[in-house]
């Protein structure tokens, strides 16, 4: 389900060598630092974790994001649901 007023295009995730991440369907970057990036996508909230993360490219008009760094994990949060583990509650 797409967010109202956000990008409604297709959602794709490509990870190359755990050093580069390309995401389409990005609606907004909620917060970021060198260890995590939290973004809204057309398929829900995505959390990227790692080290030395930096955003190489961001186009909200086209819904594209490119991240470089040491990528440890990519996960989705269930929007609007109260369930989830400690880290999903911490990142909200």
Q: Which residue has the tokens 């930096």?
A: 54
Q: Does residue 4 register a pLDDT over 70?
A: no
pTM score, whole prediction: 0.76
In the predicted model, is pLDDT for residue 82 greater than 50? no
Note the pLDDT of residue 9: 74
Q: Within its chain, how far is the Cα of 36 from the centroid?
A: 9
pLDDT one-digit tens code per residue, 18-41: 999 999 999 999 999 999 999 999
* Alpha carbon distance 27, 31 (integer Å): 13
pLDDT (tens digit per residue) in 36-46: 999 999 999 99
Comparing CA positions, the residue from 13, 17, 35, 34 lying closest to residue 25 is 13
Residue 78 confidence (pLDDT): 72
């Amino acid at each position: 389900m797409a967010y109202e007023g956000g990008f409604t295009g297709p959602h794709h995730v490509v990870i190359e060598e755990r050093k580069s991440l390309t995401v389409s369907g990005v609606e907004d970057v909620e917060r970021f630092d060198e260890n995590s990036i939290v973004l809204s996508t057309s398929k829900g909230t995505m959390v990227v974790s790692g080290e030395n993360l930096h955003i190489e490219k961001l186009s909200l008009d086209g819904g594209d994001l490119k991240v470089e760094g040491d990528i440890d994990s990519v996960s989705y949060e269930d929007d609007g649901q109260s369930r989830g583990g400690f880290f999903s509650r911490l990142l909200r």
